[in-house]
Each structure stands twice: as structure tokens, then as C-alpha cells.
Chains A and B, each alone.
Chain A
Amino acid sequence: CKSLAPEPPGSGAVAQGGSAPAWVSERSGRVALTAEDERGNPTRWQATFLLKLGEGERLQLDLIDPLGNTQARIRSRSDGAELETPKEGVQRYADLASLTQTLTGVALPASAWRYWLRGEPDPALPASRGEQNGLPVLDQAGFSIRIARARIDGTPALLVLTRLDRPDLNVRIVLDD
């Protein structure tokens, strides 16, 4: 469900009060998403991102424009997800999947990202592996995660996410070192 009780920016940082547990890891880079919503309208955007990962479903994703200005902040916890923007304030969702479904027409799972960004499957979900143009492809949760460019140590530098059931969807992620 999406409650439209916008609150001023910065108020939704820690809803339950008190200091939040520390982040486990942090990834940054740039992302571009191409998709169509239910009415076939193109949804496309690109941004620099900073992803902070905590335990389980807990994450915070900042989307930053090329001039260094944070356009939006997405938070996910076990009890729900929220999107905060300067214009709309804080909007709450049941979980990250429903938040991303509303915004992009695609339900993105919260827990798998920490693994996918390393080019690995989420151990909690079934997965299969393959290869495309000599580079590994991982299929999980309905997504095909292709390492389009890898570093010397084999870690992903450029990931491309697609879905068989959504040919309109294309998510490209360039990862900083």
C-alpha cells in the first residue's frame, strides 16, 4: 500500500527513533533504467547511486544527479520501504518490491542486491548460471544478470539486468572500484 502522507525531507531517516544499526557495506556507481509502465509509457532515468547495505533487507539507496545533487533516497527495512524526495517528502510502501513496482513497473527484490552487485547469486534463492559472449550470466528471481564488463579480479564493472518476461526492461549498472 502507498500512504500519501508526505513529510518534510529528512524526517523519515529513522522512523522508529534511536540510532540505526551500522551499515555492513557500501557500493557506488551509476545506473540507467529503461522500462515501460503498465500503459506502455517509457520510463527511463539515469543517476549516480550510493547504496548502503545493512543486515537482511535493510538498505539505503541515494540517487544523485550529475551535478552532485541527491534527487531521491530509498530506504528498505524489514517492516517496509520508503521513498523520500525534496518535492514529495516521504512516501511509504509495504516493501521494496512494491515501491520499485510502482516507480518502474518492475518489482526489484531487496535482499539479492548485495550478491548481484558482486556477480553472485543470492544463496537464499534458486539460481542458474550460464555464459554469453564469454561472460558469465546469472539467472535468479526472474532476472538475467549479465556481467557485461569485468575487472581483472573478475568482479563486475558493468552489469546489465534484463527479464525474459519484460523485453522492455534494461537496467545498466556501472560500479565504482
Chain B
Amino acid sequence: AFVPATQAGAIDDFQRYVAGRGALTGQFTQESATGSKLRRTSGTFAIARPGKFRWAIDKPFEQLIVSDGAKVWFWDKDLNQVTVRQLKDALSATPVALLLGGELLAQFNLKEGGERDGLQWLEATPKGKDLQFQRIAVGLKDGVPMRMELVDAFNQTSRIQFAQVNNAAQPAANSFTFSPPAGADVLQQ
């Protein structure tokens, strides 16, 4: 695990975090203002560089997003459909790309966001024109991402709160692979 320098800003801490080799695991709760309702999903996540990622929603339904560093699988249990996409297409300029760091980080302009709610914030604005997010803010605690606030191209806002974060994790080898269940409809995009 890396130890953040005490007086560094959020950007330096975040750069140190993404440069680190360690994996990150934990739980998440995502709240999105969807219409008049607040839509809440929760589950577990694992991130390992370069480009490996697992986002398992288990409440109120089951969905899974898995990246092995090259391909990304989206699976919805109720719909029994799997979509497979190239990592660079599926996650470009998304919050996950930010957390994965590496070359994906080059798609953002980073700015200090000051301190709020006991977290050090950095603001990430996608560089491209036609990208899907207007703003992504990351709140860090001791250099580890604890919260994200997102505004997409349609001004829909959502907030992701991380918990039980372990930045020295050793995710299981099969965390970043996915085999479609029997009978699932698989689409390669």
C-alpha cells in the first residue's frame, strides 16, 4: 500500500494512488436522481491495474460489469443478456476509467476541489467534446477514493459512496474474468 504525503493536494494523492500497484476492493452504494425517484443500487467492487475491474450490483437486482483489461462484460441476470465490448470503448471517460488510471487518466483535466465532508476533492473534466460526463468529482481520504459525484451529459446526477475500502487487497484470480451463464443472450459489440 502507498502512504500519501501529509500536505500533498488531492491530485498528488490521487496520482500516487493510481500509480500504485495495489488493487482496491470494497463496497459501494450508488444513488441516482432518476426522475422523481431516488434510485439506489449497492454491491461490491474490485479494481486492479492495468484496466481490471469488477462492479457487482446485488441490490435491488443483480448486474455485473467485469473488465479483464481488454474486454468488458455487462450482464443483467433478470434480462439474461450479456454485452461484450472493448475496454477503451466501454469505459472511455467514465468514472471507472478515472479509478483505473493509466492511459485512461489522460482523458481528463484534473483540478483541486478543496476539502468537504472530511474528504479531499479533485474535479475531473473529460477532455473530449462528445463525452458522456460533464463532471466527475472524487473525494479522497488518505489518498484513497471514498466518494464520487457525477453529472452526465443530460445533467443527471449520481453519487457513489465507497465503504470497507481495502487498498492493499488481493482479489481472487477469477475476479476479473466472466463466463456467460448457459442460455444467456451474448452480444459482441
Any chain A CB within 8 A of the CB of B161? Answer: no
Any chain A CB within 8 A of the CB of B107? Answer: no
Q: Give the B interface residue count (CB, 8 A).
A: 37
Q: Which of B10-18, B75-83, B165-173 contacts A (4 or more CB under 8 A)?
A: B75-83
Contact-residue size bin, chain A (C-beta under 8 Å from the other chain): 20 to 34
Any chain B CB within 8 A of the CB of A126? Answer: no
* Given A68-B150, A70-B153, also A158-B78 (CB < 8 A): yes
In the assembled complex, the Cα of A73 lies from the Cα of B130 at a distance in Å of 15
What chain B residues lie within 8 Å of A176 (beta carbons)? Answer: 60
Any chain A CB within 8 A of the CB of B156? Answer: yes
Min distance, Cβ B147 to any Cβ of chain A, angstroms = 14
* Highest count of chain A CB atoms <10 Å: which of B63, B95, B153: B153
A67→B154 contact, CB < 8 A:
no
A44→B185 contact, CB < 8 A:
yes
What chain A residues lie within 8 Å of B176 (beta carbons)? Answer: none
B78→A26 contact, CB < 8 A:
no
* Given A45-B83, A86-B131, also A70-B78 (CB < 8 A): no
A67→B65 contact, CB < 8 A:
yes
Prevailing SS type, chain B contact patch: strand
In the assembled complex, the Cα of A84 lies from the Cα of B153 at a distance in Å of 10
What chain A residues lie within 8 Å of B78 (beta carbons)? Answer: 30, 158, 172, 174
In the assembled complex, the Cα of A27 lies from the Cα of B39 at a distance in Å of 12
B130→A86 contact, CB < 8 A:
yes
Interface residues of B in 170-189 (CB under 8 A from A): 185, 187
What chain A residues lie within 8 Å of B79 (beta carbons)? Answer: 30-32, 46, 172, 174
B37→A66 contact, CB < 8 A:
no
* Highest count of chain B CB atoms <10 Å: which of A50, A66, A158, A176: A66
Prevailing SS type, chain A contact patch: strand
What chain A residues lie within 8 Å of B65 (beta carbons)? Answer: 66-67
What chain B residues lie within 8 Å of A70 (beta carbons)? Answer: 132, 152-154, 156
Interface residues of A in 46-67 (CB under 8 A from B): 46, 48, 50, 52, 62, 64-67
What are 18 contact pairs spanning A and B, CB under 8 A? Answer: A10-B155, A26-B37, A28-B37, A31-B79, A45-B83, A46-B83, A48-B34, A52-B35, A64-B32, A65-B74, A66-B65, A67-B96, A68-B158, A69-B133, A69-B150, A70-B132, A158-B78, A176-B60
Residues of B within 8 A of A (CB): 30, 32, 34-37, 39, 55, 57, 60-61, 63, 65, 74, 76, 78-81, 83, 94-96, 130-133, 150, 152-156, 158, 160, 185, 187
Residues of A within 8 A of B (CB): 9-10, 26, 28, 30-32, 34, 42, 44-46, 48, 50, 52, 62, 64-71, 73, 84, 86-88, 158, 170, 172, 174, 176
